[in-house]
Amino acid sequence: MSDRDTFIALVTGLVAVVLIAIATGPFALPVHRILALLLWDRAGGQQATVLFNIRLPRVLAAALVGAALAGAGAAYQSAFRNPLVSPDILGVSAGTGFGASVGILLGLPVMALQLLGFGAGLVTVGLVLGLTAALRGAGQVLTMVLCGMAIGALAGAGTSMVKLLADPDNQLPAITFWLMGSLAGAKRTDVLAALPAIAVGLAPLLLLRWRIGLLSLGDDDARALGIQATRLRALVIACATLVTAAAVALAGVVGWVGLMVPHMARMLVGPRFDRLLPASLLLGAAFMVLVDTAARSIAVMEVPLGILTAVIGAPVFVWLLARGAKPWSD
């Protein structure tokens, strides 16, 4: 299958998954009515209320989060030349989770909670990058990874302290459920709040995807081709971090997507970043929409997204490793 056919299949699959997700739920919403309400029917009514106020915002939020985490994962893996890197490497998820937990403890509204989580994620990355620059270790990438693990662990300890201080009847369940990942309360305003940050983070990655792909050759070869590897890598890290923080602020801590989806995309389109990034965005969006649909359908009570992605991601990732994916760099 050519790359063009592969991308057409991915786009078609994403549209089909979105329609299925919108149609799935306790209130009947057939696909032909969804298309009619989206394209020409402005009659309103109960079906329109369910579609535009409940199902569509949630499905769009899931697609946005999946695309953001998968795109960030592909960017991190290319920047660090390591296929096992994920958006968690710089402690972004842990930092954002800590910020949002503090917001829940303080009883802040949803928008303020997301902003606090987003700000804490950015502060975490700033600490990791600053600590890495201060240490100036021989292996900058390895030093950055280790600093990310240390700051992430510190943020995790802070989250544990917040849970210890939280009201066990109301705040503690809310913090615990949010940390496991959920889109149950996703609204149109939440999607609109997260969209600018994700778009600002993804735009440079998409526009510079051919240059970013050269980082996989190594810094010396990239410089020989006229690429300022250090600056470009810093830009990639900043953009991927911004995207990850916005996604985590919207949906909570959802693991495995940024690690697993780029590997699946790499098996479809190969290791070149200019093709890997768009494929990861489409595949990540479809994957998260399917996971969120399962989360609200397979049981009486909603299952946290983080549990489902871990249950799906761990065996699939082991299968991918056993199957032998294509090389991650040219």
For the chain, the three-class secondary structure string (H helix, E strand, C coil) is CCHHHHHHHHHHHHHHHHHHHHHCCCCCCCHHHHHHHHHCCCCCCHHHHHHHHHHHHHHHHHHHHHHHHHHHHHHHHHHHCCCCCCHHHHCHHHHHHHHHHHHHHCCCCHHHHHHHHHHHHHHHHHHHHHHHHHHCCCCHHHHHHHHHHHHHHHHHHHHHHHHHHCCCCCHHHHHHHHHCCCCCCCCHHHHHHHHHHHHHHHHHHHHCHHHHHHHHHCHHHHHHCCCCHHHHHHHHHHHHHHHHHHHHHHHCCCCCHHHHHHHHHHHHHCCCHHHHHHHHHHHHHHHHHHHHHHHCCCCCCCCCHHHHHHHHHHHHHHHHHHHCCCCCCC
242: CATH: 1.10.3470.10
- pTM (2 decimals)? 0.86
Q: What is the mean pLDDT of the chain?
A: 84
For residue 3, the model assigns a pLDDT of 76
In tens, the pLDDT along 195-208 reads 888 999 899 999 99
d(CA 323, CA 130): 39
Whether residue 54 is contained in a domain is answered as: yes
Mean pLDDT of 241-256: 83
Decide if 251 is inside a domain: yes
Mean pLDDT of 178-195: 84
Q: Are 80 and 98 in contact (CB under 8 A)?
A: no
Is 330 within the bounds of a domain?
no
Q: Residue 309 in contact with residue 197, Cβ under 8 Å? A: no
Domain extent, residue 153, equals 3-323
At residue 153, does pLDDT exceed 80? Answer: yes
Q: Residue 269 falls within a domain, yes or no? A: yes
Counted residue by residue, the chain has a size of 330
Rounded CA gap, 76 and 243, in Å?
A: 11
> How many separate domains does the chain show?
1
Dihedral Cα 41, 47, 50, 51, nearest 10 deg: -30
Residue 287 lies in a domain: yes
Domain contains 328: no
Flag whether 104 is in a domain.
yes
- What gap in Å lies between CA 112 and CA 102, rounded to an integer? 11
- 264-309, pLDDT tens digit by residue? 898 889 889 999 999 999 999 999 999 999 998 888 888 888 889 8
Please indicate, yes or no, if residue 329 is contained in any of the structural domains.
Answer: no
Can you tell me the mean pLDDT for 91-115?
A: 80
At residue 67, the pLDDT reads 95
Of 308, 295, 185, give the one whose Cα is nearest residue 257: 308
